[in-house]
Amino acid sequence: MPIGADLVLHEESDPDTVRNQGDALGRVIEKTATRWKTPLAIPLMDLRLEKIDLVARVGVSQKEAEAFHFTAPLDDETVVTLCGRDAGLFCPGSVARDQALAYIASIPGLLPIGMTIGPFSLVTRLMADPIAAAAMSGSGISPEDSGEVHLLMQCLQIAEATVERSIRSQVAHGARAIMICEPAANTAFLSPRQLRAGSSVFERLVMQPNLRLNSVLEELGCDLIFHNCGELIDAMVEAFAQRFHPVVLSLGSSRKLWEDARLVPADVVLYGNLPTKSFYSDGAMPVAEVIRRAEALVAKMKACGHPHILGSECDVLFVPEACDAILKKVDAMMAVTAPAAPLLKADS
């Protein structure tokens, strides 16, 4: 679980250095899996990497990458440059991520799992106001009629190419499953009102790019773990589960997994989804509440008979003064399933 890798990383004396050193990062991921007794070597959830690699091609430094946004439609030459599959080096974080995968792949009993931001979520980081552009697209405004919609579609094209490049590199380094994180494919960015009115915006901006990436994964013989911790409507969950058909579907704490089970094929494992975003606060989420919620979730999932892995809803990044509080709760959560049952059900 990403929250675990993040916590273990911050036990290192110099986390920022380890983050960029492949073998050291690999040992952190190995230690995380060992500590919480899981065969799933889930890496650090650093969803900045693909954007850093992408904007480097237009001369934006790593330091400036997070704040950088495209502000006007791109010329054709720039689009071609940004879509190039092989041009340009990966940033140190991406190189370390890949080397860590190779390290994990050499350890028997651990499943090397890669990680990437999804194409639509990457788009939302490339534009200053992606919600408005998506909403305009959803209302039927075409790229020809709006510069913002034009840029949105260009960003989607380059984002998909960037994610594909990341996936291919991670698989080449040993990943046997890739976690594609699409947290922005949610009701804050894509209006259910527009979807109810028949808009194809969700299909065009989320489903089609991810289906093409799914085909790439199939071609490479790599499994898909699909993660989305955003606010979703049932139709979105159903589309992710049935049309992507991931081996694992990871959802945020706003979803009731035991109810979502009816939307999800029986061979898709549901993962999650305690509200780990609140773990930093002992007031909002005391340890006893974590245990109560974990036990209740496990019981409900057992009752509904759907394969399930208890875990976090999302990455919860390091909060210096709350590190012990978060760690206590992660330990408590994992202890709920650890003593008596294997983490993976036999049929998953």
For residue 102, give every residue at least 6 positions away whose Cβ sits within 8 Å of its Cβ, in sequence order, or none: 22, 26, 173, 174
Stated as kind and residue range, the H or E segment containing 135 is helix 130-138
Binding mask 84-123 for other proteins (x = CB under 8 A): ----------------------------------------
* Residue 235 near other proteins by CB under 8 A: no
Contact 91, 56 (CB under 8 A): yes
Within positions 14 to 73, which residues make up the interface with other proteins, using CB under 8 A?
A: 66-67
Q: Report the residue from 11, 23, 75, 129 that binds other proteins according to the rule CB under 8 A.
A: 129
Residue 280 to residues 12, 283, 325, 329, 341, Cα–Cα distance (Å)? 20, 9, 6, 9, 27
CB of 289 to other proteins, least distance (A): 12
Q: Report the residue from 253, 280, 310, 312 that binds other proteins according to the rule CB under 8 A.
A: 280
* Residue 228 near other proteins by CB under 8 A: no
User: Tokens 């209006």 sit at which residue?
Assistant: 191
CB of 231 to other proteins, least distance (A): 9
Nearer residue to other proteins within complex by CB, 92 or 286: 286
Binding window for other proteins (CB under 8 A); candidates: 114-122, 126-134, 151-159, 235-243? 126-134
Query: Crossing angle for the helix pair 287-304 and 323-337, nearest 10 degrees?
Result: 30
Within positions 62 to 81, which residues make up the interface with other proteins, using CB under 8 A?
A: 66-67
Nearer residue to other proteins within complex by CB, 156 or 309: 156
The single-letter DSSP state of residue 63 is H
* Residue 194 near other proteins by CB under 8 A: yes
* Residue 322 near other proteins by CB under 8 A: yes
Question: Residues binding other proteins: what is the number (CB under 8 A)?
Answer: 32
Three-state DSSP at 309 gives strand
Binding window for other proteins (CB under 8 A); candidates: 98-106, 161-169, 189-197, 219-227? 189-197
Q: Report the residue from 281, 289, 295, 325 that binds other proteins according to the rule CB under 8 A.
A: 281
Contact 280, 322 (CB under 8 A): yes
Contact 278, 301 (CB under 8 A): no
CB burial of 35-59 (b: ≥16 within 10 Å; e: otherwise) equals ebebebbbbbbbbebbbbbbbbbee
β pairing state of 223-228 and 177-181: parallel
* C-alpha 78: how far from chain center: 27
Rg (CA), the chain: 20
CB of 17 to other proteins, least distance (A): 18
* Residue 132 near other proteins by CB under 8 A: yes
Q: Report the residue from 95, 151, 156, 316 that binds other proteins according to the rule CB under 8 A.
A: 316
Q: Report the residue from 20, 62, 78, 187 that binds other proteins according to the rule CB under 8 A.
A: 187
Q: Report the residue from 108, 109, 198, 320 that binds other proteins according to the rule CB under 8 A.
A: 320
Tokens describing residue 91? 């940033």
**In the complex, which residues of this chain contact other proteins (CB under 8 A)?**
66-67, 128-132, 134-136, 138, 187-194, 277-278, 280-281, 283-284, 316-322
